[in-house]
Each structure stands twice: as structure tokens, then as C-alpha cells.
Structure 1
Amino acid sequence: MARSIQSLERAAAVLRLLAGGERRLGLSDIASTLGLAKGTAHGLLRTLQQEGFVEQDAVSGRYQLGAELLRLGNSYLDVHELRARALVWSDDLARSSGEAVYLGVLHHGGVLVVHHVFRPDDSRQVLEIGVMQPLHCTAVGKVLAAYDPVAHAEMMDAERESFTERTLTSEAALEECLELVRARGWASDVEETWDGVASLAAPILDRRRLTVGAVGVTGAVERLYRDGELRPELVASVRDCARAVSRDLGAARF
């Protein structure tokens, strides 16, 4: 079994103590409760304070949880709620489309897959929850880059790898593509990431009408396309799914 890191264990104990006890605690209270020397406790608190996880009251000198910890907690809850709200709708989309469904959010300059519904057939498939996908050449990524300024900036600042001969990598080509995404309300990827594979996706909005994720389907080009065009009923299903999840998150009708 891997050895734990004592300083991290102690820092976690400090945060749990501040979260579960009185609103503010002094250095002596924290040190005595956790069985730490005052110098050790003070060093932990100072580091946590520098990172924004702990705040010190200027008058009393007592400590409380900081805003950065709250921000991280809200980020987790947002993603958790997004996935929870999308479960039923994404299952319905997989059944109606006959294709695999992905739910993605922006994470460290890419798309983090937070939910994946298998294609409803007997084929062998690999669960891809937790997988990172690129922003510039996936339908889900393009949706995020089109509607989220942070995602757009991260995509433009990153080194954009060419996965196939169809992958768009130039800034001008991508900007033109994103303008089309905003005009249509959905994005597509036709063999830009994998040969023979296409995808399409639409944005998910929250109650503030901010884009918090994207949902889409992925499958073989010959199944998603008909007469050289994406099947219109498939586009409608993906957009309906995105709207339904958005409404569940509190977004007004759109």
C-alpha cells in the first residue's frame, strides 16, 4: 500500500475541522483539537491561506474556510448536477438515435467526458467517462469553444494537433467554423478526429443562460449522414436533448 503524505493528511484534517465545527477557530483551538504543535498548525494554516482555502479574520485572528474552497466545491456540484440532470435525457437520445452519447465540459483546455451512454446494440464498447477530448476537432469541443469565451481562448492559445487530413487547425478556419456553429446552434465533426467517425453536439445552458456543457452523439459516418448531409432528425434529437437538460438546469425556453 502506498504511504500517505502526512502534511496533506494534516491539511485535510484542518479543513474538516473548520468545516464541521464553529464558524471560526483560533490557532490554539485548531492545534489542541488535532494534537499538533502550534508551529506546525500555523505553518499549515499559512499555506492554506496563501492558496485561498483558509481565511483569517483581521480583528480576532481566527480562521475560517476560504473562498477558493467554496469555488472548487461549487465546480464539483455544478458538474455533478449537470450529469444527474442529463442521465434520463441522454439515455433517451441513445435509444432514439441508435448511437453513443457523450456529455462533456470544459476542463484544462480540453473536453472532459463526464457521462457516456453506449450505443444500444451488441457491439463491444469501452466506457470513456473521464477521458479528455480536444476542443478544436470534436463536435462537443466546438460547441464549448463557440459559446464559452474561456473555452474559445484556451482553444486558440493551445497547440492544435492534426489528427486526420480533415482536422481544422488554422485560426481563421476555426473562427469561420465557430461562426457557423453559433448560427446553426449545433456543431459537427466529420472525420476530424478519427477516420470514418462523425459526431454532432449542441450546447447545454444553465439558469444564467451560460453554456455549462455540451451533449452529442458519435458514430460511423455512413449512419449519421444521408446523401452527404447529417440526418436532420438526428440533429433535431440532439438539440431537443440539449434543450431538455438546459430546462432541467433552470434555463428559460429557447
Structure 2
Amino acid sequence: MAEPAQTPEYAVPALDKALDVLELLAERGGGLSQLDIATAIDRSPGQIFRVLATLERRGYLLRDRRSGLYELSLRLFDLAHRQEPLHALETAGLPVMRALTESVRQSCNLSVLDAERVRVVAQVESPADFGFRVRVGALFEIGPTATGLVLAAFDPRGAELADRRGVDPALLERIREAGHLVRADAVQPSITDVVVPVLRGDGTALAALTVPYVATSLSASLADDVLAAARAAASEIAADLVL
């Protein structure tokens, strides 16, 4: 039997350097000098000069005129949100999320799976004097987060994700049966994450709606009331998307 044809690998050095720069700045956060960037990606400053200039000219990088430090602009984030699924999700989700925050006086956010991690794509802050916010664009691992577990539980690749990410498959099954997850936040135990899936017609999750519930003497709603409101909101988002 003939060997299957192999896809040829074509090297594009300039593109490799540009992607190295973007990935480095995304991982590090904050500003880096040309020398810092060159050292981190194992290049000489001269090798990346044109790459940095082009990325800056095209709007992917911002350079502080005084310090000379480079950092990512929001250009990549803007491009990602031009995708129709995300744009439609935000359009349908934000009005419902605003109504939810007004009702329960808590913040909420909407997240999707992005390359087997959790990406926050929309966030509405609590109208109250207190609340817990998550940065739009933030990226989290699946296993430690309640949001990630709900997304994995209602994903067709759930078992595969559980195996690769070290998640108990039985836990995902319990989440599927319950239709939600309420548990203490992995990073801030004083916060209770109330998470419900935004479901397609086939029962898989397009996104997860999360309310990081802060219980204080000033809280307008109990956790059970927040869960009921979040479930109603997730159903409304799904209906608006006609999934």
C-alpha cells in the first residue's frame, strides 16, 4: 500500500517571528523592550526590528514613545470578536445579562471554550456597590473553574477533555444531570460561582453564563434565587440566538 502523502512544511521566517512576538507579549503582559523581546524569542534585535515596526504600523502593537516598550493592542481581540458566532452571542447576551445583574444585583459573565481553555467573551458589572468582575478576554484552565467544568460537561468532547485535563468524568456527569454547577470559586473561596450552560437545540453548550455570587449582608438575592434567574437568562439568550 502506498504511503499517505505528507503535507509539506513550508517555513515562513518572518511570519514565525511575528507570531513569536505576539504570543510572547500575550503571555507576559505589560510592556517589553525590543531587546527583551529578542532575548525571549532567541533572536537578535536586528532580526525583529522590521517585524516590530510592521506589527506596530498594522495596529497589533503599541509602543510607548518615552520608554520604547511594546505591548499588545486590542487589535487581535477586535478581530476575534468579528467572528459571527461571538458577535451574535454578545448581541444576544449583553441585554439579557444587564437585566440579570439589575435583578440579582451581582456581576455576571459569559464564556466559551477556546482551544480547550475558558475564554471570557462578555462581562457586566454589578450595579450594587460590591461585586466580583472578570476581565473580558481572560483565559482560564478548564479543570479548576466551575465555568470550565460546565462547558466541558455539555461539550461533545467532554470525555476527551476530562481525560486530557485530569477532570473526573463522574463530576461532569453529575453536572449534566443537574443542569448547572454551584460551588465555591477555585481562586476566591468567599465567592460562589453559579454557572449555567447556554444550550443549543442538541443539548450541547455554546457558552456558559456565570454569576460570581458575593454573599454579604447587603446581598439582594439568595444563591438559589440567583441560580433560578441565571437559568432563565441562559434560556433567553439561547432563544434569542435560535440555536
Letter in 1 for 2:112: V
In the other structure, the counterpart of 2:196 is 202
Matches within 5 A, 1:74-223: 76-123=83-130, 128-150=135-157, 152-158=159-165, 171=167, 174-206=168-200, 209-221=203-215
In the other structure, the counterpart of 1:240 is 232
In the other structure, the counterpart of 1:36 is none
Cα shift readout 1:101-160 (whole Å, capped 9, x = no counterpart): 0100000221100001112123487661000122123222111110103355234313x6
1:195 to partner: Cα distance: 2.5
Segments of 5+ residues of structure 2 without an aligned counterpart are 1-49, 59-78
1:73 to partner: Cα distance: 8.8
In the other structure, the counterpart of 1:40 is none
Measure the CA separation in 1 of the matches of 2:87 and 2:141. Answer: 22
Cα shift readout 1:38-60 (whole Å, capped 9, x = no counterpart): xxxxxxxxxxxxxxxxxxxxxxx
In the other structure, the counterpart of 1:55 is none
Measure the CA separation in 1 of the matches of 2:202 and 2:83. Answer: 18
Measure the CA separation in 2 of the matches of 1:176 and 1:209. Answer: 18
State the identity as a percent: 23
Secondary structure in structure 2 of the residue aligned to 1:102: strand
Q: 1:233 to 1:73 in 2, by over 3 A?
A: closer
Q: 1:222 to 1:91 in 2, by over 3 A?
A: same
Measure the CA separation in 2 of the matches of 1:195 and 1:103. Answer: 20
Q: 1:84 to 1:242 in 2, by over 3 A?
A: same
Kept after mapping to 2: 8 A contact 1:109/1:154: yes
TM-score by length of 2: 0.60
Kept after mapping to 1: 8 A contact 2:146/2:193: yes
In the other structure, the counterpart of 2:53 is 3
Measure the CA separation in 2 of the matches of 1:102 and 1:90. Answer: 8
Equivalent pairs counted in the alignment come to: 169
Letter in 1 for 2:234: A
Letter in 1 for 2:124: V
Letter in 2 for 1:232: D
Kept after mapping to 2: 8 A contact 1:207/1:249: no
Cα shift readout 1:187-206 (whole Å, capped 9, x = no counterpart): 12314232212111111123
Q: 1:98 to 1:185 in 2, by over 3 A?
A: same
Measure the CA separation in 2 of the matches of 1:92 and 1:198. Answer: 20
RMSD: 3.2
Secondary structure in structure 1 of the residue aligned to 2:171: helix
Measure the CA separation in 2 of the matches of 1:144 and 1:126. Answer: 20
Measure the CA separation in 2 of the matches of 1:232 and 1:125. Answer: 18
In the other structure, the counterpart of 1:168 is none
Kept after mapping to 2: 8 A contact 1:134/1:141: yes
Measure the CA separation in 2 of the matches of 1:147 and 1:193. Answer: 23
1:214 to partner: Cα distance: 0.8
Q: 1:155 to 1:131 in 2, by over 3 A?
A: farther
Cα shift readout 1:15-71 (whole Å, capped 9, x = no counterpart): xxxxxxxxxxxxxxxxxxxxxxxxxxxxxxxxxxxxxxxxxxxxxxxxxxxxxxxxx
TM-score by length of 1: 0.58
Measure the CA separation in 2 of the matches of 1:207 and 1:89. Answer: 19
